[in-house]
């Protein structure tokens, strides 16, 4: 299956600063990547669908100006959390889909905003 | 609106016995179902899937059953092993649009030696 690398795995930032999370598809060209967020003991919630060369599609309730997504190449998508607040602290995970079936996930990024 | 539900937040099973994880869904537009295993601070790992046109899929110790009329699927693990201890998520794929996955809340499975 596809290998997905996410970086960093853990980040702590001060409130008001911005944080960039990278998601790389190492062995597969992904025109579409997905960004999820998981709060403790809750499900994975889809935030947005990242489309190579075009604008991301955001799920209802997700602020596109706060969570900036860039998918500039077929192997890299980035999620930037702008003006981070403590309530943005969460586990962020990206995924790629190979074909029409299962998705392959990155290892996730634990964001803590202090 | 939780379209995919895993009503059991946790499950404990003796090693060697069968583990049965359940999942219910409400949207008839789901055409594909998947199970993922997740360890803490890691991304989910794909386990097994089933198309809506089938009612059973088996892969080694893992079998997924789909009951479309009841909108219910289950994952059977037999025999259960200590390494199976993890959080299990079921997910469903929407037939249309970006075919995004909708996840259940997860069930924490603990296999006791």
Is residue A73 within 8 angstroms of chain B, CB to CB? no
Q: CA B103, A102, B11, B52: dihedral to nearest 10 degrees?
A: 80
Would you state the pLDDT for residue A42?
Answer: 82
- Over residues A4-14, the mean pLDDT reads 95
pLDDT tens digit sequence for A76-97: 999 999 999 999 999 999 998 7
Please state, in angstroms and rounded to a whole number, the distance separating the CA atoms of residues A56 and B47: 28
pLDDT tens digit sequence for B51-89: 999 999 999 999 999 999 999 999 999 999 999 999 999
Task: Give B-chain residues touching A93 at CB under 8 angstroms.
Answer: 43-44
- Over residues B44-51, the mean pLDDT reads 92
For residue B58, the distance in angstroms to the closest alpha carbon of chain A comes to: 16
Q: What is the 3-state secondary structure (H, E, C) of chain B?
A: CCCEECCCCEEEEECCCCEEEEEEECCCCEEEEEEEEECCCCCCEEEEEEECCCCEEEECCEEEEEECCCCEEEEEECCCCHHHCEEEEEEEEECCCCCCEEECCCEEEEEEC
Is residue A57 within 8 angstroms of chain B, CB to CB? yes
- Are β-strands A10-13 and B56-59 bridged in parallel, bridged antiparallel, or unpaired? unpaired
Q: Is 90 exceeded by the pLDDT of residue A16?
A: yes
Contact A108 B41 (CB under 8 A): yes
For residue B87, the distance in angstroms to the closest alpha carbon of chain A comes to: 10
Nearest CA in chain A to B34: A102
Please state, in angstroms and rounded to a whole number, the distance separating the CA atoms of residues A33 and B100: 10
Is residue B43 within 8 angstroms of chain A, CB to CB? yes
Mean pLDDT of chain B: 93
Is residue B44 within 8 angstroms of chain A, CB to CB? yes
Lowest mean pLDDT among A54-68, A73-87, B36-50, B92-106: B92-106
For residue A101, the distance in angstroms to the closest alpha carbon of chain B comes to: 8
Q: Is 80 exceeded by the pLDDT of residue B10?
A: yes
């Amino acid at each position: 299956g596809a290998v997905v690398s996410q970086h960093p795995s853990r980040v702590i930032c001060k409130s008001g600063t911005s944080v960039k999370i990278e998601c790389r598809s190492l062995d597969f060209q992904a025109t579409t990547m997905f960004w999820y967020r998981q709060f403790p003991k809750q499900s994975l919630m889809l935030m947005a669908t990242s489309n190579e060369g075009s604008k991301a599609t955001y799920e209802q309730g997700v602020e596109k100006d706060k969570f900036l997504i860039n998918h500039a190449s077929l192997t890299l998508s980035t999620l930037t959390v702008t003006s981070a607040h403590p309530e943005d602290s969460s586990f962020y995970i990206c995924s790629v889909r190979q074909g029409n079936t299962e998705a392959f996930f990155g290892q996730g990024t634990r964001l803590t905003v202090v | 609106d939780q379209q995919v539900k895993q009503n059991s937040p946790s499950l404990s099973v003796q090693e060697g016995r069968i583990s049965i994880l359940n999942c219910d869904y409400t949207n008839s537009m789901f055409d594909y179902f998947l199970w993922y295993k997740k360890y803490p601070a890691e991304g989910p790992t794909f386990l097994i899937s089933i198309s809506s046109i089938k009612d059973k899929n088996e892969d080694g110790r893992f079998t997924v059953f789909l009951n479309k009329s009841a909108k219910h699927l289950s994952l059977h693990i037999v025999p259960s092993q200590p390494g199976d201890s993890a959080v299990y998520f079921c997910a469903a794929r929407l037939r249309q649009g970006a075919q995004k996955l909708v996840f259940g809340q997860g069930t924490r499975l603990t296999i006791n030696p």
